[in-house]
Structure 1
């Protein structure tokens, strides 16, 4: 892989982690930990920010070649990374003696991709109506990461109500009630993984 090859040649120490589906990785903002760059090598994860009162703030859904930097901030706040499918991530220190990372790998390109993912999640969270927020999230995942087969989109991993709740900032009880309404709209089939394209064109998020 491009990142592994470059870091190895540059003699930059790195760590690779494998996250199985539903595995969680916690990132704490500790003062004695150097800032780290974390890059998704393969797979799909979502990130939520956890506050001291356990309130969750959805941050982004990240896929291959997106970047997360674990900066030193508030020690009471941490980030939770949850794998939607088998995922491999690589991490290395930002303050590395070798300063060629930015120029050699055109890291700005990957930052732009990551920022786009943040903007997409921000747009979802800005939806005031619960139904619209959930539908927009599922459509985003389907259109970005789904597989098109015979005019339907198949999401290649199960979206649990717990995952949907964390990614929308809603309670599981709210998700359960709202999903029953969404099923009646005919957008998503009963297996919760298939989205009908013919109905997507007629969706009115108002």
Structure 2
């Protein structure tokens, strides 16, 4: 797996670490004021959950390549953060102090700033999912986001190109698998989507987007 960021860090002699997550794998991070790590998603797709000491979990964002995870904003000792791969994903982890001490080129800092800007847009898009009180609307909004950002267009449908189990959908939308199963079955019966159980792949038909427009869900 090649990456321009690996090359940039190597040329600048900035210490870094590379993680490979297979789909379904996860990493746990907790705030550490002393080290201040940053993580660049340079290939793949992940989602981030904020988990409290009472085991309550809140979905934060779906991030893809060209995104950056900045744990300096997550300044609490009472929570931890779980990064889960939706597909095979590669991450680069480095530390602010190492970056400041070794970075030689202004262009590198500009590229890093571009990552922050792109990531903010992804957080904003992800926030629309939890804006809805209705779990059905949350599920629909999630599918819409995935179709828009990752979907593969075909003749009369859009394919979401990675596994999306109903357990994952329930985790992201703050629901339970039973409720999600009912919602998915509703969408299937209305011929809005097709859920391939064996591969956990979702196909969204064009009628699904007409439903969104007419229902003013978006």
Please, what TM-score do these two structures have when normalized by structure 2?
Answer: 0.87
Between the aligned partners of 2:70 and 2:18, the Cα distance in structure 1 is: 15
Provide the residue aligned with 1:202 in structure 2: 211
Residues 147-166 of structure 1: pairs in structure 2 closer than 5 A: 147-166=152-171
Provide the residue aligned with 2:28 in structure 1: 26
Task: Give the secondary-structure state (helix, strand or coil) at the position aligned to 1:82.
Answer: strand
- Pick one of 126, 131, 138 that aligns with 2:131: 126
Q: How far 1:135 sits from its partner (Å)? A: 0.7
> What is the root-mean-square deviation of aligned Cα atoms in Å?
1.7
- Pick one of 77, 84, 96 that aligns with 1:75: 77
Provide the residue aligned with 1:84 in structure 2: 86
Task: Give the secondary-structure state (helix, strand or coil) at the position aligned to 1:157.
Answer: coil
- Structure 1 gaps, min length 5: none
Between the aligned partners of 1:102 and 1:160, the Cα distance in structure 2 is: 43
Is the contact made by 1:143 and 1:153 (CA closer than 8 Å) also made in structure 2?
Answer: no
Between the aligned partners of 2:94 and 2:177, the Cα distance in structure 1 is: 35
- Pick one of 144, 149, 161 that aligns with 2:149: 144
- Pick one of 177, 182, 185 that aligns with 1:177: 182
Please, what TM-score do these two structures have when normalized by structure 1?
Answer: 0.92
| Distance 1:205-1:178 versus aligned 2 partners, 3 A rule | farther
| Distance 1:142-1:101 versus aligned 2 partners, 3 A rule | farther
| Distance 1:37-1:102 versus aligned 2 partners, 3 A rule | farther
| Distance 1:41-1:124 versus aligned 2 partners, 3 A rule | same
Between the aligned partners of 2:78 and 2:25, the Cα distance in structure 1 is: 22
Task: Give the secondary-structure state (helix, strand or coil) at the position aligned to 1:74.
Answer: coil
Task: Give the secondary-structure state (helix, strand or coil) at the position aligned to 1:202.
Answer: helix
- Pick one of 79, 84, 104 that aligns with 2:108: 104
Deviations 1:1-57 (A, max 9, x none): 2111110011000000100010011111245x5011100010000001001111111
Between the aligned partners of 2:62 and 2:195, the Cα distance in structure 1 is: 24
Q: How far 1:73 sits from its partner (Å)? A: 2.2
Provide the residue aligned with 2:38 in structure 1: 37
Deviations 1:118-175 (A, max 9, x none): 1111111011111111011011112211111112111111210111111111122221
- Structure 2 gaps, min length 5: none
Q: Which moved more, 1:54-63 or 1:66-75?
A: 66-75
| Distance 1:74-1:102 versus aligned 2 partners, 3 A rule | farther
How many residues are aligned here? 205
Between the aligned partners of 2:186 and 2:104, the Cα distance in structure 1 is: 52
Q: Which moved more, 1:93-102 or 1:178-187?
A: 93-102
Task: Give the secondary-structure state (helix, strand or coil) at the position aligned to 1:189.
Answer: strand
